[in-house]
């Protein structure tokens, strides 16, 4: 038969309904249907009855299968035509890495055009043809090619996942709706997809909006930082300019002082020299007189004249006279004055610095749930030792070995500041502590254990409780202590508020969790009631 006549037949007439491929050694069974000889033989080998896979007609016995020569020739021509069509396809039809290959192709795998959710097979253009032409296969659900079609099957029931359980947020099959998901809110995949898409789109838009707001916040922070930098630079330039001028002025004054001393020395020396020259002239005159007297032989007159000359001689003792000026201490005096100026500038800078950190002041109150049973908190702002331990719940937050208390407020970013009145306390501890500190045992208050604190002990011994305690030399005991924390900078600073002086700073700290203001009031002293620590308004 010619190729032209074969084209009059539809392609599905050359496909075996068992293997869905072009006939190989086609045979005709008694009912008139055609199959590949191997396909129908294997089909009958698996079944007791000899039945047609298409019309279901049952035969009494297996007839001798003979190859239908006409259909075989027509199938061969069709196969050749299909191969020519496949070979003429562009290289883009060949499956590339990342593309879904045809599951039916042998040898070179072509790119799949569709995947069948019923067959769980992906087909190229050629092998997809039966699904487009055969009535039985047209009812199959085709989708864009995907890999891992088995993943679309319910692992429990081996059925297609075609529903979405909104209760458990998972895809299910029809049998799942009458078992584990019977009472759940189950909808078709399309409805589930649309709902999830809308929900996700809303969530994404919210995330976008939050990030845009964060961008604006960061930009604003950069602007504020630039303003702070400009202000700090201006203040720094002003301070150092003043210091430079002070140094230059002190240097000029030092040079003038030395020059003035030298001028006075030279003037004094000139006076001494002039006076000495006058005395020398007088002595020469007396010497001449003595020489002239020596020519007389009147010894009485000579002796009386010598006594008279001797009485007229200069009497000033020049042995103790010196013209060396005292320069020692001149530079030291100038440096002392410069140090005084520097201290005054430092006070101005610290006063300005304190005003700035006070802008980060927050309302802080004591947390009674963390207070040791011996402590009494008044109105959230005062804490002191009581006469005896109170009967309070021993919760996880409470200190039960050391008389400490935390604030209710915690901080995990930014800057914060608070002030505590410590006046008349014989001992106290102030600072911040991280959330995870052990509150049930006695622990050394050092940064490694989560504490950044300073303290007063023995009424006048101030210490910074670093890895090794640092003894603080203070001119006077502070009446009010300010505590400032910059979380991101890893900075904890303590100020004497009334003196506007920096007491101590922990720098280079690494904070990774919440920080709580930390307090330790004094105990009774000489039988007297302890003085409370008071959180004051800034």
Token readout for 184 is 């759940």
Q: Please check the confidence at residue 266 and state whether its pLDDT lies above 50.
A: yes
Distance CA 182, CA 191 (A): 18
User: Which residue is associated with the tokens 């208050």?
Assistant: 445
Distance CA 243, CA 58 (A): 115
Q: What is the pLDDT of residues 319-338, one digit of tens each?
A: 888 877 777 777 888 888 88
Q: Please check the confidence at residue 5 and state whether its pLDDT lies above 70.
A: no
- CA distances to 39, 78, 142, 249, 442 from 33, rounded to whole Å, are 13, 18, 27, 119, 93
pLDDT value of position 315? 77
Comparison of pLDDT for 318 and 464, the residue scoring more: 464
Return the sign of the alpha-carbon dihedral for residues 319, 320, 321, 322.
Answer: positive
Share of the chain above pLDDT 90, in %: 32
pLDDT value of position 4? 41
Report the pLDDT averaged over residues 139-154: 83
Phi, psi of 415 (to 5 degrees): -125, 145
Tell me the pLDDT of the chain averaged across its residues.
Answer: 86
Do the Cβ atoms of 477 and 456 come closer than 8 Å? yes
Burial of 115 (0-12, 13-18, 19+ CB in 10 A): buried
Q: What is the pLDDT of residues 27-45, one digit of tens each?
A: 888 888 888 988 988 888 8
Confidence class of residue 495 from pLDDT cuts 50, 70 and 90? very high
Q: What is the pLDDT of residues 44-77, one digit of tens each?
A: 888 767 888 888 888 877 777 888 888 888 888 8
pLDDT value of position 420? 96
Could you give the maximum distance between any two Cα atoms of the chain, in Å? 196
pLDDT value of position 203? 93
User: Which residue is associated with the tokens 């069974």?
Assistant: 29
Confidence class of residue 527 from pLDDT cuts 50, 70 and 90? low
Distance CA 517, CA 366 (A): 9
- CA distances to 428, 449, 507 from 519, rounded to whole Å, are 8, 16, 20
Do the Cβ atoms of 518 and 365 come closer than 8 Å? no
Angle between helices 330-358 and 189-293 (to 10 degrees): 160
Share of the chain above pLDDT 70, in %: 94
Distance CA 503, CA 485 (A): 14
This prediction has a pTM of 0.52
CA quadruple 137, 138, 144, 145: dihedral, nearest 10 = 20
């Amino acid at each position: 038969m010619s190729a032209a006549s074969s084209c009059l037949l539809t392609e599905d007439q050359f496909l075996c309904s068992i293997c869905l491929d072009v006939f190989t050694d086609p045979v005709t069974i008694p009912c008139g249907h055609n199959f590949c000889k191997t396909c129908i033989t294997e089909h009958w080998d698996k079944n007791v009855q000899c039945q047609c896979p298409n019309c279901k007609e049952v035969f009494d016995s297996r007839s001798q299968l003979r190859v239908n020569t006409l259909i075989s020739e027509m199938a061969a021509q069709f196969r050749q035509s299909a191969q020519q069509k496949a070979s003429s396809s562009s290289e883009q039809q060949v499956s590339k890495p990342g593309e879904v290959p045809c599951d039916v192709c042998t040898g070179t795998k072509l790119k799949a055009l569709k995947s069948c959710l019923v067959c769980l097979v992906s087909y190229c253009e050629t092998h997809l043809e039966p699904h487009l032409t055969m009535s039985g296969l047209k009812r199959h659900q085709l989708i864009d090619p995907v890999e891992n079609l088995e993943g679309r099957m319910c692992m429990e029931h081996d059925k297609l996942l075609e529903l979405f359980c909104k209760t458990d947020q998972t895809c299910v099959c029809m049998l799942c709706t009458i078992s584990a998901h019977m009472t759940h809110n189950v909808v078709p995949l399309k409805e589930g997809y649309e709902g999830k898409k809308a929900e996700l789109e809303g969530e994404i838009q919210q995330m976008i909006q939050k990030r845009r707001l964060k961008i604006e916040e960061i930009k604003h922070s950069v602007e504020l930082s630039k303003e702070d930098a400009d202000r700090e630079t201006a203040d720094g330039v002003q301070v150092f300019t003043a210091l430079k001028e002070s140094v230059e002025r002190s240097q000029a004054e030092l040079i003038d002082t030395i020059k003035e001393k030298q001028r006075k020395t030279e003037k004094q020396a000139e006076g001494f020299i002039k006076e000495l020259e006058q005395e020398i002239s007088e002595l020469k005159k007396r010497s001449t007189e003595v020489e002239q007297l020596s020519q007389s032989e009147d010894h009485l007159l000579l002796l009386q004249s010598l006594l008279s000359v001797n009485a007229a001689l200069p009497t000033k003792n020049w042995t103790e006279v010196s013209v060396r000026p005292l320069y020692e201490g001149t530079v030291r005096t100038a440096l002392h004055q410069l140090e005084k100026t520097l201290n005054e500038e430092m006070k101005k800078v610290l006063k300005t610095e304190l005003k700035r950190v006070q802008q980060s002041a927050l309302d802080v109150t004591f947390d009674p749930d963390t207070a040791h049973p011996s402590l009494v908190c008044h109105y959230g702002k005062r804490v002191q030792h009581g006469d005896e331990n109170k009967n309070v719940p021993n919760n996880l937050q409470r200190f039960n070995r050391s008389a400490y208390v935390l604030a209710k407020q915690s901080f995990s970013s930014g800057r914060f500041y608070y002030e505590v009145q410590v006046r008349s306390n014989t001992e106290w501890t102030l600072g911040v502590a991280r959330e995870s500190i052990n509150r049930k045992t006695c622990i050394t208050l050092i940064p490694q254990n989560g504490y950044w604190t300073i303290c007063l002990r023995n009424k006048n011994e101030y210490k910074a409780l670093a890895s090794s305690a640092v003894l603080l030399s203070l001119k006077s005991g502070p009446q009010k202590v300010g505590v400032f924390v910059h979380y991101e900078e890893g900075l904890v600073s303590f100020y004497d508020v009334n003196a506007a002086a920096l007491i101590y700073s922990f720098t280079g700290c690494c904070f990774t969790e919440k920080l709580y203001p930390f307090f330790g009031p004094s105990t009774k002293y000489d039988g007297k009631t302890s003085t409370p620590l008071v959180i004051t308004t800034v």
